[in-house]
Amino acid sequence: MTKSKFNLGAFTGRTAKRLILYIILFSVLITILSSALQLYVEYQDEVGQIEQQIEQIQNSHLDGIAHYVELNNPVQLQLLIDGLVKLPDIERISIIVQDRVLQRAGGVVSDRVIDTKFLLYPLDPSKAREPSGTLHLVAGLDPLYERLKQKIWFILVATAVKTFLIAAFILLLFQYLVTRHLNKISQYAHNLTLNGHAPALTLDRMPARRGEVDELDTVVTALNEMQTRLAQELRLREEAEFDSRTSREQLAHMDRVTSMEEIASSIAHEINQPLTAIATYAQAALRSHKDDERIPSDLQKALEKITEQALRAGEVIRTIRQFISKQSSSRSEIGVKALLTSTSHLLETLGSQYKVSLVQGVADERLTVIGDLVQLQQVLFNLLRNAMEASPAESAIEIWVEESAHESDDRVSIRIRDRGCGIGSEAAKEIFTPFFTTKKEGMGMGLAICKTIVDAHNGELRFSANEFGGCDFTMLLPQGDKLDAKPEAKSGAKLESDQGAVS
């Protein structure tokens, strides 16, 4: 079914309502001003006519009235003022002689009047020029106001009809020339996609002549050009993001390999130490039970140590292999406690070398984060290694894990605090800039890669100086579902702090 070009939306939209309001306000303002001017002119004209009648009475009849007063002829006086009181808007005429009303015609019925008095002088020049009486005229203005009031109502009704017709015509014209095209432009913009396959926007109207392009044509041209540019920029951005992601993965892999070169010398020690212990405990077991049929307690402890060291050696080897292997990013829910433990194993030798210890505090051991285990291990490894290098001997590096303090922020906070020499304010501004370093032999890529990895996890890596003169690095990572509580765990446990294995 074809939609009509004229619809109710043309009269109910916000623009239409404002247009109607402006038309009405402007029309009312013009009507008030023009009507007030017109009424003022008519009022002045009507009052002028009344004053002309009074002046005519003065010029034409004042001497006659004075003559009849001088002759003391009340009959002629009454006939004369009875005729004058019939003039338009003249309501009462009185003749006053010696403060006494000699003759009167008509009566005052208006609240608003023009009150005029004329002195009557004798016509005989031989007599003294003293007034023989007073002619008192009262002209009513209420009829004039009634006529003006009726005219006001006529003007208002005529203006209302005229305003309605003009507003309706303008709205219909506005809807046909503008609103329907704006609706089409709005629908096109709402359905706009960046795939570049949508047809160009066209308006259902006569094509503009050359050099006569109006505002709607300009908007249509801009939208079509914008869609084309956005599609091109989107393709370029996707290509750039792909290249950037590939470069980040390459840099991350190079950084992991570089890090492993630094601890390569300790791998042999980490593997050799448990193997040596295994051999020692095995020899002790053989010596202890060579001629004894019973199993002594020492043998039990030795066997437990053998098992413990063998598992530890396997865990170290497995973690190192996973750390240096180049794998694609795989996001999953990772237990924070397990993440800290696995990373701490990689740093045991460095901890012994720098003589620092790790102190872990986890508010809730059920907390998990969403991310790639190897990449997050890399970030923690780099941050903790930097903290160890900056910390004095026999100091502790604190790792505090808790949920974000903001209720609306569903993330886990992992804060690493050292008591080292800290970073200057100027260097702090460039701390995450690639190739910026304060180390003599550093490449300046460690923290930059760490920030890139955290950002790729929809997280945030922050730096601040602490009150001990050292540095605080805080990772905010998306929180996953909490792990199931252990049967022996108690709800509402306080913040736990355990001394790490690094010494």
pLDDT for the residue numbered 290: 61
What are residue 216's phi and psi, to 5 degrees?
Answer: -65, -40
Q: Radius of gyration (Cα) for the chain, nearest Å?
A: 52
pLDDT for the residue numbered 317: 56
Please provide the DSSP assignment of 89-105 as one string: TEEEEEEEETTEEEEEE
Parallel, antiparallel, or unpaired for β 357-362 and 396-403? Answer: parallel
Q: Please say whether the beta carbons of 502 and 347 come within 8 A.
A: yes
pLDDT for the residue numbered 399: 92
pLDDT digits (tens, 9 = 90+) for 97-113: 888 888 888 888 888 88
Residue 22, token pair as written in the block: 């402006």
Residue 236, token pair as written in the block: 């370029």
435 φψ region: left (φ > 0), alpha (ψ -120 to 50), beta (else): left
Half-sphere exposure of 314 (CA within 13 A, CB side): 7
- As beta bridge partners, residue 415 has 400, 474
pLDDT for the residue numbered 457: 87
Residue 188, token pair as written in the block: 């096109």
Q: Which residues contact 122 (CB under 8 A, 6 or more apart)?
A: 66, 70, 128, 129, 130, 132
- From first to last of its 503 residues, the chain has per-residue pLDDT tens of 444 444 545 455 676 677 777 877 887 788 788 888 888 888 888 888 888 888 888 888 888 888 888 888 888 888 888 888 888 888 899 998 888 888 888 888 888 888 899 888 887 766 656 888 898 999 888 888 888 888 888 888 887 788 788 877 887 877 777 777 777 777 777 777 666 566 777 777 766 666 666 777 777 777 777 777 877 888 888 888 888 777 777 676 666 656 655 555 456 556 656 766 676 676 666 666 666 666 666 665 666 667 666 555 555 555 455 545 544 557 889 999 989 988 887 788 788 888 898 898 888 888 999 988 878 888 898 899 989 988 898 889 999 999 887 766 789 999 999 988 888 888 888 888 777 777 766 667 778 888 888 988 889 999 998 888 889 999 999 988 888 765 333 333 333 334 333 32
Q: Please say whether the beta carbons of 464 and 485 come within 8 A.
A: no
- As beta bridge partners, residue 401 has 362, 414
Query: Angle CA(80)–CA(82)–CA(86) in degrees, nearest 5?
Result: 115
Q: Please say whether the beta carbons of 489 and 291 come within 8 A.
A: no
Domains of the chain: 9-168 (3.30.450), 329-484+496-503 (3.30.565.10)
Residues in the chain, overall count: 503
- Among residues 94, 138, 147, 149, the alpha carbon closest in space to that of 113 is found at 138
Sign of CA dihedral 247, 249, 252, 256: negative
Q: Please say whether the beta carbons of 135 and 120 come within 8 A.
A: yes
Instruction: Using CA atoms of 377, 380, 385, 390 in order, give the dihedral in degrees to the nearest 10.
Output: 180
In one letter, which amino acid is 10? A
- Among residues 31, 29, 20, 30, the alpha carbon closest in space to that of 156 is found at 31
SS3 212: coil
Own/partner contacts of 441-445, CB < 8 Å, gap of 24 or more, are 443/258, 445/251, 445/255
What is the model's pTM? 0.39
pLDDT for the residue numbered 476: 92
SS3 501: coil
Q: Which residues contact 338 (CB under 8 A, 6 or more apart)?
A: none
* Widest distance between CA atoms in the chain: 181
Q: How far is CA 388 from CA 209, 248, 376, 419, in A?
A: 76, 26, 18, 10
Q: Which residues contact 109 (CB under 8 A, 6 or more apart)?
A: 91, 140, 142
Query: Angle CA(268)–CA(271)–CA(276) in degrees, nearest 5?
Result: 110
d(CA 481, CA 492): 17
- Among residues 469, 336, 252, 453, the alpha carbon closest in space to that of 461 is found at 453
Q: Please say whether the beta carbons of 459 and 409 come within 8 A.
A: no
d(CA 127, CA 114): 32
pLDDT digits (tens, 9 = 90+) for 355-365: 898 898 888 88
Is residue 274 packed enough to be buried (19+ CB in 10 Å), middle (13-18) or exposed (0-12)? buried
